[in-house]
Amino acid sequence: MTSNAPYPPALDAGLETERLSQTIKDWSIANGLAVRPPPVLVGQNQDPEGILAINAPVTLFPSPFPKSCFEEAKAIQTNYNELYARISQDEEFLGRLVQEVAGGDDFIAKLWEIHLKVKEEGYVQNLSLGLFRSDYMVHQDGDHLQIKQVEFNTIASSFGGLSAQTSLLHQHLSKTEYPLLTTPIPPNTLNLPPNTSAHSLAAGLRAAYEAYGPSILNHPTCILFIVQDGERNIFDQRHLEYSLQQSSIPVFRLPFSQLLTHTTLSPTPLRQLLYHLPHNPSQIFEVAVTYLRAGYGPNDYPAPSSWLARRRIETSNTIPCPTILTQLAGMKKVQQVLATPPGPSTLAKFIPDEEKSSALWRTFTNIYPLDSSSPAGREARRLATDPKECLKYVMKPQREGGGNNFYKGAIPEQLKKVPEEHWNSFILMELITPPAVQNTILRQGKLEQGGVICELGVYGTCLWDQKTGQVKHNEEAGYLLRTKGDQSEEGGVAAGFGCMDSVALV
């Protein structure tokens, strides 16, 4: 990409745009860059056989992204893996933070309750697997560009499958379509880095599967994906499954709501988790790894049986991805405590290596508690309730998934609805100021052109012994670029706010 060439190039509004859009539509369906359609598009219960698929929303061009920021984010991912593995092992630290937010967050309180019940019963599996994703935006301060962390995801870190396909799509277009535009982009002009997210995330699951070893009950072993009912993002998950199956690893999908029906615990001290094939219950697989793509929010637990299902996973000998402790390590409260003074000393407790901890500290932005007892919390309460000051912030609950945050002027209004003693279940984060970027989004067949904001996610896989602290596998695992219109505040693709993208390094 030459420095003086406009990028992305302007497109002719007629046949040129139509040709590029149609190519993307066809390639996406042919290569699994797709999702199931929402009911609003096809009508309620109009796809009972589950045969329909539509393009995942995607940009027409890879978005320009600073090379130095991209490389920094990838380089520190193994440090982040190590940090969150160690946090997951510190029950006292997590318990203290849970107590601070549990009064205003029943979901967090219930997760901790399940952990305590299983602890009393006795954990039988020491190995823990994390498929993590650390999300960043580029913060522009004058001419200086620096990555700042938005959040760290410890459960159901999605889009690794579709992200790899998005990179392949843009690489394909750079060879076949971009050189033919009215303002052409010659082949090999764009710096498009490879993206191995699907393969690398599968490699993390495979490492845990191999660490589990053969069944002492003489059952075949498997990896079990726990998914949501009516999952629309199924193809993203399938790409990971297919990668594992190429290694001859049996992989099965089971809705969270059916876990109690199709699994049992062996009557042995190890309490092996056994999966009974729904169409042939006499065929039993021992579950070596349970990969949760559900269970990350309250809506996944509509009944007491849902909590019994989560407890069954936790109390068994399967290697969970993640454990409840690892899920709780992903609380926004943890991120806030690490980033708020005396944050450096808290960070050093888990990462004593000064070079590693300094690299992590540089990615933190200003985050505050909303308690009434600390100076930082009292100042945050003032900022959050001031009609002008609040415009610089986002307020976040302890939740995964898009659509849960409160931005700018919505913050004071939300706090009015919450008893003050429960304000501490939120954190207040300073908004990141990204550089201006232009692109065009293809969503549900329609084009959205204009300013966009890009959010980079870097995946990591980590397998560790919860008892000894030994790390058995620690790898950076590819990337995700999500892009949204610059007027949108949320960025979740599955939640309908953002779209898939890939990076063109500049």
Known catalytic residues? 133, 151, 153, 158, 332, 396, 400-401, 482
* HSE-up of residue 490 (Cα within 13 Å, Cβ side): 14
Say if CB 367 and CB 430 are below 8 A apart: yes
- Identify the CA nearest to 431 among candidates 462, 459, 460, 410: 410
Non-local CB neighbours of 3 within 8 Å, separated by 6+ positions: none
- Residue that the structure tokens 């990141």 belong to: 432
Backbone angles phi, psi at 63, to 5 degrees: -80, 140
From residue 482, how far is each of 56, 58, 63 by CA, in Å?
A: 12, 9, 10
Residue-wise DSSP of 123-166: ----EEEEEEEEEEEEEEETTEEEEEEEEEE-S----HHHHHHH
The 3-class SS string of 288-317 reads EEEEECCCCCHHHCCCHHHHHHHHHHHHCC
Q: Which residues of 244-275 are buried (b: 16+ CB within 10 A; e: fewer)?
A: beeeebebbebbbbebeebbbbbeeeebbbbb
Asked if residue 84 lies in contact with residue 466, where contact means CB atoms within 8 angstroms, the answer is no
Contact between 360 and 351 (Cβ < 8 Å): yes
Beta strands in 36-126 (DSSP E): 54-55, 58-59, 63-65
What residues are paired with 91 via a beta bridge?
A: none
Measure the CA dihedral 71/76/81/83, to 10°.
-160
Quick one: CA dihedral 208, 213, 218, 220, positive or negative? positive
